[in-house]
A and B are shown apart, each in its own frame.
Chain A
């Protein structure tokens, strides 16, 4: 057995191990046919084509699974779990945005020391609180009708961050 055929066999063997259950019968079928193919390179081409076919088949299965999951999740839009998830997503997004604002200002301060931002307070307020808070309010208003839990999460996190900053300033 030459190297191309060995490679073909190894390739389809790996595909067989990794393939989803519903595709395995087909991979095995393709693997068995290798013994009947004349020519080493033809065997390798057969294995490559078979791998592509199985990838397509598996991808189709995954797409179906994702679509089913999406449909079932959409059906549960009104459930408490979905609302909680939406709220948590909104809060997390808001937190990430605020942290990004703080991080961005810090990065600009470090990368461009010539701007003298480390001595100024307003860029920090602007990047860490003013701009994110404006984004929170605008996005909460826009999302309120269609994604109320997400909007509520954003709004509450925005209020929380605002209070945190206010307390921080008051203590300084």
Chain B
């Protein structure tokens, strides 16, 4: 299933490619990409529905509410890299070509 590659989606893919193996939080992604929650979460939801993202609740200490975390699936990483080469010139492509371990 394809994901519409709007500039905002590319920003999110870009943010995920940065240390792609690490789990990321919604608010941190919002700060990194500059996207508001109303824009960011629909993108995250679509990516998760298309199996490009895996989600997990952070195991936290008692009394502290867990946070939802997101990370690329293998499929997501491949998708982001493929689109990085299609959108050459941005940070997305730089990261995909050299800085991300896969």
Q: Which residues of A contact B (CB under 8 A)?
A: 25-26, 28-30, 32-33, 35-37, 45-50, 52-54, 56-57
Contact = CB atoms under 8 A, between A and B. Distances in A.
Question: What bracket does the count of chain B residues touching chain A fall in?
Answer: 10 to 19
17 contacts: A25-B55, A26-B44, A26-B68, A29-B67, A33-B67, A46-B27, A46-B36, A46-B37, A47-B37, A49-B36, A49-B37, A49-B41, A50-B41, A53-B40, A53-B41, A53-B45, A54-B41
Contact of B42 (A25, A47, A57): A57
B45 A26 contact: yes
Contact of B37 (A25, A35, A36, A50): A50
Given A33-B26, A46-B36, 15 more contacts: A26-B41, A28-B68, A32-B65, A32-B66, A32-B67, A32-B68, A33-B27, A33-B67, A36-B67, A48-B38, A49-B37, A53-B38, A53-B39, A56-B42, A57-B41
Contact of B39 (A25, A30, A33, A49): A49
Contact of B38 (A28, A33, A49): A49
Chain B interface mostly helix, strand, loop or mixed?
helix
Nearest to A33: B27
Chain A interface mostly helix, strand, loop or mixed?
helix
Given A32-B65, A57-B45, A52 B38 contact: yes
